[in-house]
């Protein structure tokens, strides 16, 4: 079976990008494309692998490594379940991709409009197989005959032959194909495609995967912001330690300002992430595929989680602001009261002296 394997390695750039001067519907910019030599897997060598990198407006890059394979589904399932064994030259594929990230971020800096102090550095590869030959039977028959091997590939399950009917029923393979022999299968850990629209579907999967990774990176940033805001709340000085209030207020202001900058950029980027593509919106087939692909990566739920975390962090900073303001006014009240007491005592002493 002739097929093309595409390995997608996402990375968080810690940047927000602006492709000003280009079509506003452009979601990404390709910053490199070249032949990269050979890829190997368990002793099998695949020459003339192709390498390309795209960076998206919302600050996620995708390294794509593509190579041709002449093997059956069992081999592809084994490859999907053992991606860490794929090598670029003598280097593991994940380590190889991670080694390129810093240089790619430097190339993307010229498009940067905002950067984050923290960025997600996890490594993961998502495999996509594009079948080059039309299957002999209709798509549903092909999927039924190869159900377990397909599930093993899509779910990254090495022991797929031992799966129970319960699992296969619970995690059904759904074909999003529009035509009789069109195959569009996708799960969280892989995708398999045979379609006349294969190139468009591949771009949609890449975009959805980048969106998912973007949400994960914002989630990571906001976890850090939540820790900072909680520490600030825990360490705010009470009113009787008035000498610490000024320093606490300065620290609080700096952190709150940093969060506000990140928040503005994140909220703006969220609406760049969850957006429509004109070519997709005008085509029922592609629009349906794109909606289903996004469901696989659960981007809408992640979007809601990020929004909730932003709201909670804002509440923390508002609580800190209110606490500092109350303590400051309590301090002013104490000073005013002491001043009043001193005035009364001073007046009394002057009166006593005048009597004498």
pLDDT tens string 91-137: 899 998 888 888 888 877 777 776 777 777 888 899 999 988 877 77
Whether residue 342 is found in the same domain as residue 220: yes
pLDDT at 126: 93
| Domain shared by 287 and 217, yes or no | yes
Last residue of a domain, one of 189, 205, 221: 205
Gap between the Cα atoms of 9 and 147, Å rounded: 26
Are 53 and 201 found together in one domain? yes
Q: How far apart are CA 98 and CA 92, in angstroms?
A: 10
Same domain, 184 and 327: no
Same domain, 128 and 44: yes
> Counting every residue, how long is the chain?
356
Does residue 86 sit in the same domain as residue 110?
yes
Range of the domain at 151: 2-205
Question: Tokens 């692909």 — which residue?
Answer: 293
Is there a contact between 190 and 293 (Cβ–Cβ < 8 Å)?
A: no
DSSP string, 110-134: GGEEEE-S--------EEEEEE-S-
Please compute, for residue 48, the number of CA atoms within 13 A of its CA located in the half-sphere on the CB side: 3
Q: Which of 205, 238, 258 is the last residue of a domain?
A: 205
Reported as a single tens digit per residue, the pLDDT across 206-255 is 888 888 888 888 888 778 777 777 776 666 666 556 556 666 666 666 66
Tokens standing for residue 284: 């029922």
Is 189 among the domain residues?
A: yes
Q: For the whole model, what pTM was predicted?
A: 0.76
Q: What percent of the chain has pLDDT over 90?
A: 6
Note whether residue 356 is domain-resident.
Answer: no
Residue 355 within a domain: no
Task: Report the candidate in 299, 312, 296 with the shortest Cα–Cα distance to residue 229.
Answer: 312
Do residues 1 and 61 lie in contact, with contact meaning Cβ atoms separated by under 8 Å? no
Domain count, the chain: 2
157 and 304 together in one domain:
no
Same domain, 69 and 18: yes
> How do residues 39-86 score in pLDDT, each as one tens digit?
888 888 888 888 888 888 777 888 999 998 888 888 888 888 889 899
**Scanning the structure block, which residue is given the tokens 């092909």?**
142
Q: Verify that 83 and 151 share a domain, yes or no.
A: yes
Angle between helix 245-273 and helix 299-355 axes, rounded to 10 deg = 160
Integer angstrom CA distances of residue 93 from 13, 310, 333: 19, 35, 65
- Cα gap 220→119, rounded to integer Å: 7
What average pLDDT score do residues 19-38 get?
A: 59
Average pLDDT, the chain: 78
Per-residue model confidence (pLDDT) at position 89: 83
| Domain membership flag for residue 114 | yes
Q: Distance between CA atoms of 263 and 255, rounded to whole angstroms?
A: 12
Same domain for 215 and 305? Answer: yes
The pLDDT of residue 127 is: 93
In this predicted structure, the answer to whether residue 177 has a pLDDT above a threshold of 90 is no
Is 237 found in the same domain as 160?
Answer: no
Q: Measure the N-to-C terminal CA separation of the chain; round to a whole number of Å.
A: 116
């Amino acid at each position: 079976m002739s097929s093309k394997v595409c390995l997608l390695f996402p990375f968080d750039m810690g940047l927000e990008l602006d492709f000003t001067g280009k079509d506003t519907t452009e979601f990404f910019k390709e910053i490199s494309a070249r032949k990269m030599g050979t890829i190997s897997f368990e002793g099998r060598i695949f020459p003339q692998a192709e390498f390309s990198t795209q960076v998206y407006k919302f600050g996620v890059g995708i390294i794509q490594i593509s190579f041709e394979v002449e093997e059956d589904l069992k081999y592809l399932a084994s490859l999907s379940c053992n991606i860490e064994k794929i090598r670029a030259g003598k280097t593991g594929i994940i380590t190889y991709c991670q080694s390129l990230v810093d240089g790619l971020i430097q190339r993307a800096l010229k498009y940067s409009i905002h950067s984050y102090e923290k960025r997600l550095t996890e490594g993961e590869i998502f495999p996509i197989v594009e079948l080059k030959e039309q299957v002999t039977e209709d798509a549903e028959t092909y999927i039924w005959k190869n159900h377990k091997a397909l599930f093993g590939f899509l779910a990254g399950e090495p022991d797929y032959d031992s799966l129970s009917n319960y699992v296969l029923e619970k995690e059904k393979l759904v074909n999003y194909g529009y035509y009789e022999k069109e195959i569009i299968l996708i799960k969280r850990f892989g995708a398999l495609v045979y379609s006349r629209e294969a190139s468009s579907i591949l771009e949609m999967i890449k975009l959805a995967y980048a969106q998912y990774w973007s949400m994960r990176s914002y989630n990571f940033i906001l976890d850090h912001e939540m820790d900072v805001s909680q520490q600030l709340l825990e360490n705010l000085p009470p009113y009787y330690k008035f000498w610490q209030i000024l320093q606490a207020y300065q620290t609080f202001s700096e952190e709150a300002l940093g969060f506000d900058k990140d928040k503005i950029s994140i909220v703006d980027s969220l609406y760049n992430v969850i957006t429509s593509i004109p070519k997709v919106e005008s085509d029922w087939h592609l629009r349906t595929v794109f909606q289903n692909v996004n469901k696989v990566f659960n981007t809408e739920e992640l979007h809601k989680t990020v929004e909730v975390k932003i709201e909670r962090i804002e509440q923390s900073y508002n609580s800190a602001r209110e606490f500092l303001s109350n303590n400051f006014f309590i301090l002013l009240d104490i000073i005013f009261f002491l001043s009043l007491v001193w005035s009364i005592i001073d007046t009394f002493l002057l009166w006593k002296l005048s009597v004498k």
